[in-house]
Amino acid sequence: MLRDLKAEGRLGDKGGCLHLIPSHLGLINIDLDLAYMLSGAAPNRLHQRRARVFGQLRSRLNAYATEAGYDYVLIDCPPNFNIVTKNAIVASHQIVIPAKPDYLSTLGIDYLLRSLATLVREFNEDSKSEVIEPRILGVIFTMIQILRGRPIGVQRQYMRADAIAVPIFRSTVRENKTIFGDAPEDGIPVVLERPRLEPYATIVREMESLAGEFLKRSGV
């Protein structure tokens, strides 16, 4: 269900227009449904079917986004490389990788990059008529624990540029279980919830910095 936050009066005097399409429990088996669409294909038609399944979101989103006149469509993905994530990647022009600065999360970035390269190559080979070239804008470190105005030492060691094979955003997202934990129930982004009150104001300033860096990296 699409929510128009401007029509609901949620944007206040910030201007612009923001639509949210949240996930739904009815999508719990979407991976199985998409996998079923891949099954049973003859070997000579598997490539064609795979391109169609992985391009489901792309084909529908391109038509709708053009009609609606969106500047950006942001797609949040699950933390795995399943068919849903592959659909999102095929539909995307640019990719941002959120990661927690710890050993396992940063280790997973290399796996993601290899999987991404394989997906792009196979989709382009399968599709034949359509070529995708998603560009990685960089890694955004999240769940940052701040001490004396900077990330704690155990996290800083995983935030070095020489430890990651792709660019790293200067902006980060700090951990705040109370504020971010309430956002799904409220149904609106954190930056629109009491933005002038602390500690919301600090989060809003950091999010605005992140948004500005994102726009700069994306070429706007």
Per residue in 200-217, pLDDT tens?
888 889 999 999 999 999
Closest CA to 88 of 98, 103, 101, 73: 73
DSSP per residue over 154-184, as a string? HHHTT--GGG-SS-B-S---B--HHHHHHHH
- Say whether pLDDT at 113 is over 90: yes
> For 174, phi and psi rounded to 5 degrees?
-75, 160
pLDDT tens digits, 133-168: 999 999 999 999 999 889 999 999 999 878 788 999
Sequence-distant (≥ 6) Cβ neighbours of residue 49 within 8 angstroms: 37, 38, 41
Estimate to the nearest angstrom the gap between the alpha carbon of 129 and the chain centroid.
Answer: 26
When pLDDT is averaged across residues 173-187 and rounded to a whole number, the result is 80
